[in-house]
Structure 1
Amino acid sequence: MINILYYLNVILGLVPVNLDLGPGTRRPSTGQQSQSCIKLNNTYTYTHIYIYILLLLLLTVYAYQTTLSSVVSITTTDPRRRTIMSRSVSSSRGSESPMEPERAHRACEKCTRTKKKCDKALPACSRCTRLATTCSYDFIYTAPTTAVVEPGYLAGSTPKEAYGQGIFDPAFDVSSSMVMALLSSRNIPWREATERYFETMNPWFSVIHPELFAIRTDNLGSGASSNADQGPRDPAVALLIVCMQLVSQYDDEAAAASTNVNEGKDMIEMPAYRAAKRVLSVLRGLSAPSIELVQCSILLALFEFGHGDVMRAYVSIGDANTMAMVLRIGPGKYVQAEREANIPYEEEERRCVYWSLFVLDRLIHVDCSLIHMPLQVPSPAADDLLPTSNLIWHNQNQSPTRSVQRHPASVAPSVPLGPFQRNCQCAMLYTRAYSPKPQGNPNALLEEYVELDIATRALVEAMIMQTSRWGDFYECFATCTCLLLFLYCRQLRAANTISAAGPFSPTADDIAPKAIAGLNFTIRIIADTTTDLNDQLAHRPHLLAPCSPVTPYSAYHCLMVLSHLEHLIPEADTRFHNIFASLHFFAKRWGVAGQLVNKVELFLADADETQWCFMDE
């Protein structure tokens, strides 16, 4: 650089040239040199100065470009060094203008990946500062890539061990160990679950034959392990055990300590229930119908009914009825000559499945949302057999005994029968109440309701005379009292219709007082039993375990009668509070009771806007 400037001065004549002229040539003396320099200085002009400055600027630009090219060549080989150098350059540029804030050379990592506009502020952009996130400019951006799947992978060339078996896999199947894991994962021994079911639910809803079930599971283990050796090998039987656990599970200690009103939403959303529904749908769709699958559908419908999803229960009953018709499940016929003959377990189980399906199909119609829905299970004929095996009390002082007896469906109420058989008798009365033949004729309809009233009261009286404890038939009492409330309310409606058509109708004037007296009689039964039940449940909450889902409906409809006709019912206020307290107790067992509590409170808050199906269409 110095040499270049020197020769430039020589060219411009600003520096004297020291030339070697060779041997024999005389150099000028020192005085002559000084004189020549003075002469050159005198010839110095402003033009030379301009040319000198211009050449200096050109040399400066040339040196800067040379330095910059070397920096670029270094940073292109190392992205990190390129980023650091760029930041240093941008910082140095920013320092030239103190009024302008420092900016990064590119958008930050977060704004780049989210495709948002970045102000590139330093040390952090405004968006990252507002979101309180880390702002980074020193990153290497990796563009998203599209994975290419080989055709052989989709064709199944990948080993099965490399991925789990999915529900969309054609080879997908439900194993018994998978189903039993619903219990073992919660440390529930399946034998304890089945024993609890037979003790609490099966006496009044005998959908499973105890002896036949014991024979099928006698050689199986009893632990809570999910190992196939510890449970049934048939997935349908395993699912049946899970369903038995679902309908009978009840934590009496937690229920006693809880003060919240259960509405059943947690139970309907429970993973075990939802898994059981999925398993049932797979087994029903991919395997042949079996009696175990029908039993599973019935128990799941009972679970749904008890926890407030009555429409889903209605659909489940329809599915169970379809499979039952395919399997030709029915009650069988009563033959007098075979009265003392032995009854095979398989035949009795099929009969109990039919009657359980029939009873549940009738009982769910106590909910107002289903009162106009058609009945799905065909009614039995008069000579069809009732369930032949049940617990029977022959008199008030003896303990119940299990006996096997053949009785037709038309047997008189005075004949001693067990709780399940009594429920079957009451369900047949429900059929006549919900689908009366003389529709549209108020007088004929009124006569039909009167006949049903007489038959239902005879059934209640027979149960009272058969046992000294109302608790032995409590579920049957609840079913009958619910039916009586419906009949008396419909009698009042029919009487009002007749009175509106003709002011002087002796039939209506005679029926209305009898209907009110019948309501008072029914409410007294419910109030007396619930008062005793409230005292018992306060100390022994486990008594709720065998409770039927119809029991809360009996209390609910009784409360609605007291609310509508409080001026006609003696001690209406006291009875209302006692029955309302029992409805809170029932909510600890079945979620539908919590929903009924809310309906009562809604009616009390706005009676004019709330309708009740027993009195209104």
Structure 2
Amino acid sequence: MDSNIEPAFQAQLQQATVYGSQQHNGFDHEPHFDITPQQQQDTSQQQLAAQACTSCRKQKRKCDKQIPQCSLCQRIGRRCDYSEENRVLPPSAEEFTSLRQEVAELKHLLSSTVLPSARANASANSSSDVSMSNDSSPANLLSSIIPNGQPQQPAWPAPSSFPSLFFLDSSAFEYERFQIQMPHIRVPSGALAALGSSAELRFMIENFFSSVHTYFPIVSKIRLYQHLANPLHEPGAEIALLFMAMKLVSTELPEGSPPQTQVYQDVKSFYTYMEAQNGFSTQMLQGLLLIGLYEYGHGIYPAAYLSIGNAARLGHAMGLHARDVPQMLPRCTTWTEQEERRRVWWGVLILDRISNIGHRGKPFASAEPSPDMHLPTDDAAWDRGQMLAAAPLSLSASQTIRASSFARACQSVHLAGKVCRHIDDKTIPLDYRFEEALQLHRTLKALAALLPTEAEGDDPTAGPTLCSSLAICYSALLTLYDAYGCSERLVPDAPESQLVIQKESIQGITEVCESVLLLSRKIRQRIELGEDLGRLSPLTIECIYEAGASYAWYFRETSEPHYAEKLAEVKELLRLCERRWRVADDYIRIIEATEYQLVSAIR
């Protein structure tokens, strides 16, 4: 894919590789961070323009005539233009002579302060074979130019150029039809060094799309390649962040190593740096979602809970959750881009709901999707950038209509969110509460019965499988049954529907656990046949744990050996999953703690 990676990005990668061995792969808060300091203005000696700027004159606003940008234009983030005023005569010969003299003095000053070794290396760098020695590294060059060898600290954090009007009064922002200019954040040298060479970057991208992308398709493959192949677009920090997050989540950990790797620490620091620079973009949110997926899959808490919540807030701020709200991003120019934004927001909803199944009693960070919200389209067609001639499928559409694998996962997680909200809401009247529980039971059972039939015709080598959809559906059912299956939670003098949902729950736990066990055997069979563990979704592990916990409870209550056999089978699969996702080991320890309590009770 070297031909697809733009020359500017390759040059930055090569430069970082040369001197990256002398630096830590993390991010030093040194001037080589490539942050452009903003010049401080002395308001006491600042000159004013002769007349108001073009924008203030057209809108009849008061202009303070500050140069180079008036306060109003700076506050709302628009371009300040004094071009009509600045159309003066060309410079005179005396002005050209003075300018040449100043340039000559500046050259003399620089040549007298740069070390001889740095000058020699600088002349060598002008040849076709570019090489950088230790003396010509950016840090050494900078320290040799600055007096006393003390590097200047970058002017960071600089005054924000983001228009506060967007948050303070969004109605006024929309009325004025302002647009937010996305800040250009330079790529830190540490980020380029962490990405490795061009060949390593190509291998990482291919590995990501053949593994994580199969069950969490939120990054457009064709748009990413087009972005890299565009010679007119300079790669920014948001692309580097996305690449680092893709590398993080698609790399399998060595056996016994903790998930808090150096790459994890680097990408977390990188995101914090971009957030402090007021960065926002679809790629930035995609990177944050992949970080949250990594943390969720490896059981890194509370970081996973906070990262997913942060992604929801960023998505809300950018307006991805609805079309009729103030938008931070410009309008989409292609169908593929619009579909990518939709998938990114569905990724937020999936992680937000699935991470709250075991962490109950807390509100979701993301808004409830509307019934007319569109589901993701066909996964393979979207990867090719091919728009199908079919009506978009909404969330309220019948489940019997054929949908893509990712759309099925969205339907399942939407129902799982409804189950969590239903259980946490204690204000629902009893009559309606039990009826709603029965309705959720019927809807989830219908979807759970439909998905295995579709999965039989799903080619696991050609695209995403339905394992994630099934697993989320099973998790939602077991969560619902756990709330109504216990006799101690019965409400006195409740309507007859309470006994109905209790009966369905007791019977449903056994049936769903058997379905989870069947799904576990299929996953284990694929792993034993040599399927890449990278395609194993962390979204499937939670339902396997719930089934194992249920079997442990059954064995504790009945002491029947077949429950112990099924529990051992579930634990064996969790040990296989632990090779890819460390959260499986946490689930094993929870189950074993339950078994230890059983042994202690018998003694």
TM-score range, shorter chain: 0.5 to 0.7
User: Does residue 465 of the first structure (1) align with residue 457 of the second (2)?
Assistant: no
Contact 1:409-1:425 at 8 Å conserved across structures: yes
Q: Give, in whole Å, the separation in 1 of the partners of 2:481 and 2:389.
A: 36
Contact 1:489-1:515 at 8 Å conserved across structures: yes
Question: Which of 179, 185, 195 is the equivalent residue of 1:183?
Answer: 195
Give the C-alpha shift of residue 308 in structure 1.
Answer: 0.6
User: Does residue 596 of the first structure (1) align with residue 559 of the second (2)?
Assistant: no
Contact 2:186-2:236 at 8 Å conserved across structures: no
Please say which structure displays the higher CA radius of gyration: 1
Question: Which of 227, 239, 242 is the equivalent residue of 1:240?
Answer: 242
Question: Which of 380, 384, 402 is the equivalent residue of 1:416?
Answer: 402
Identity score, percent: 20
- What does residue range 138-537 of structure 1 map to in structure 2 within 5 Å? 159-160=145-146, 170=156, 175=187, 177-184=189-196, 189-218=200-229, 233-250=235-252, 266-268=258-260, 270-330=261-321, 344-366=335-357, 368=358, 370-391=359-380, 405=390, 406-436=392-422, 439=427, 441-468=429-456, 472-493=465-486, 496-498=488-490, 501-502=492-493, 506-537=496-527
Give the C-alpha shift of residue 325 in structure 1.
Answer: 2.4
Provide structure 2 residue ranges, at least 5 long, that are not aligned to the other structure.
1-141, 159-184, 325-332
Q: Give, in whole Å, the separation in 2 of the partners of 1:307 and 1:165.
A: 40
User: Does residue 575 of the first structure (1) align with residue 577 of the second (2)?
Assistant: no
Aligned residue number for residue 561 of structure 1: 550
Q: Give, in whole Å, the separation in 1 of the partners of 2:549 and 2:206.
A: 37
Q: Give, in whole Å, the separation in 2 of the partners of 1:555 and 1:161.
A: 63
Give the C-alpha shift of residue 544 in structure 1.
Answer: 2.2
Q: Give, in whole Å, the separation in 1 of the partners of 2:567 and 2:387.
A: 38
Q: Give, in whole Å, the separation in 1 of the partners of 2:565 and 2:387.
A: 40
| Structure-2 change in CA distance of 1:441 and 1:161 (3 Å) | farther
Aligned residue number for residue 68 of structure 1: none
Q: Give, in whole Å, the separation in 2 of the partners of 1:571 and 1:239.
A: 49
Deviations 1:258-309 (A, max 9, x none): 5x6x7xxx112x1111111111111111143111111111111111111112
Aligned residue number for residue 223 of structure 1: none
TM-score calculated relative to the size of structure 2: 0.62
Contact 1:391-1:417 at 8 Å conserved across structures: no
SS state at 2:379 partner:
strand
Contact 1:330-1:350 at 8 Å conserved across structures: no
| Structure-2 change in CA distance of 1:460 and 1:161 (3 Å) | farther
Deviations 1:92-118 (A, max 9, x none): xxxxxxxxxxxxxxxxxxxxxxxxxxx
Give the C-alpha shift of residue 581 in structure 1.
Answer: 0.4
Aligned residue number for residue 552 of structure 1: 541
1:445 maps to a residue whose letter is: R
1:292 maps to a residue whose letter is: Q
| Structure-2 change in CA distance of 1:561 and 1:166 (3 Å) | farther
Give the C-alpha shift of residue 322 in structure 1.
Answer: 2.5
SS state at 1:386 partner:
coil
Higher relative contact order (CA 8 A, sep 6+): 2
| Structure-2 change in CA distance of 1:248 and 1:608 (3 Å) | same
| Structure-2 change in CA distance of 1:235 and 1:600 (3 Å) | same
Q: Give, in whole Å, the separation in 2 of the partners of 1:199 and 1:206.
A: 11
Q: RMSD between aligned alpha carbons?
A: 3.4
Q: Give, in whole Å, the separation in 2 of the partners of 1:601 and 1:558.
A: 14
1:390 maps to a residue whose letter is: D
Give the C-alpha shift of residue 164 in structure 1.
Answer: 9.1
Deviations 1:225-246 (A, max 9, x none): xxxx9x9721210110110111
Deviations 1:571-615 (A, max 9, x none): 3222111111001011111111111111111121125999xxxxx
Q: Give, in whole Å, the separation in 2 of the partners of 1:581 and 1:165.
A: 56
Contact 1:310-1:364 at 8 Å conserved across structures: no
| Structure-2 change in CA distance of 1:489 and 1:195 (3 Å) | same
| Structure-2 change in CA distance of 1:193 and 1:448 (3 Å) | same
Contact 2:157-2:276 at 8 Å conserved across structures: no
SS state at 2:436 partner:
helix
| Structure-2 change in CA distance of 1:484 and 1:608 (3 Å) | farther
Q: Give, in whole Å, the separation in 2 of the partners of 1:418 and 1:441.
A: 37
Give the C-alpha shift of residue 175 in structure 1.
Answer: 2.0
Contact 1:438-1:445 at 8 Å conserved across structures: no
